[in-house]
Structure 1
Amino acid sequence: MAQKTGALIFDETADRYDIRFDITDYYGGLHCGECMDVFTGGKWKPTRIEYGDNWYLVGIRAEDLNGLRVRI
């Protein structure tokens, strides 16, 4: 299966992050433990999304996850 690239967005109605691939194309909501790659520091890095006090990406330092470029 080919990977798709999009941007992380927070879906307030579902209270979780989603990936927006295009104007009407979304992943469908991310759950704890889902793996993806995030583009940071000029390269793709593998990570997974988790929830503690707030949503975060394991091994990725980011104040805000909204808008981060990801592929899954």
Structure 2
Amino acid sequence: MMTQKTGALIFDETADRYDIRFDVNDYYGGLHCGDCMEVFVRGKWKPTRMEYGDNWYLVGIRAADLSGLRVRI
């Protein structure tokens, strides 16, 4: 089984997409449509995936701002 890494969603202005920050200089490398992950909401991990419509969003997750959400991938 592959080891999962936990980090926080951040918006990369230069790439115009979300990324996951694991540590000071450790990033996932940019998220794309269809990328699957789990997000920590209401005390539990929930499977979701990144998509883009009018804006970036996580399927099944209601959040005005995705930045700072705890995720694992």
> Is TM > 0.5 for Structure 1 vs Structure 2?
yes
Which 4+ residue blocks in structure 1 deviate beyond 3 angstroms? none
1:5 is displaced (CA, Å) by: 0.0
Aligned to 2:46: 45
Structure 2 match to 1:13: 14
Query: 1:2 aligned to 2:3?
Result: yes
Q: Which residue of structure 2 aligns with residue 69 of structure 1?
A: 70
> How far did 1:26 drift?
0.1
Paired residues, number: 72
Which stretches in structure 2 are left out of the alignment for 5+ residues? none
Report the CA distance between 1:45 and its aligned residue.
Answer: 0.1
Give the superposition deviation at 1:37: 0.1
Q: What is the CA distance between 1:36 and its match in structure 2?
A: 0.1
- Supply the distance in 2 between the matched residues of 1:59 and 1:47 (Cα, whole angstroms): 7
* Residues 18-68 of structure 1 deviation map (CA, whole Å, 9 limit, x = unaligned): 000000000000000000000001000000000000000000000000000
Cα RMSD over matched residues? 0.3
Q: Aligned partners of 1:60 and 1:42: how far apart in 2?
A: 14
Q: Which residue of 1 aligns with 2:55?
A: 54
Q: How does 1:24-43 map to 2 (within 5 A)?
A: 24-43=25-44
The TM-score with structure 2 as length reference comes to 0.98
Counterpart Cα distance in 1 of 2:35 and 2:18: 11
Matches of 1:65 and 1:49 in 2, distance apart?
A: 11
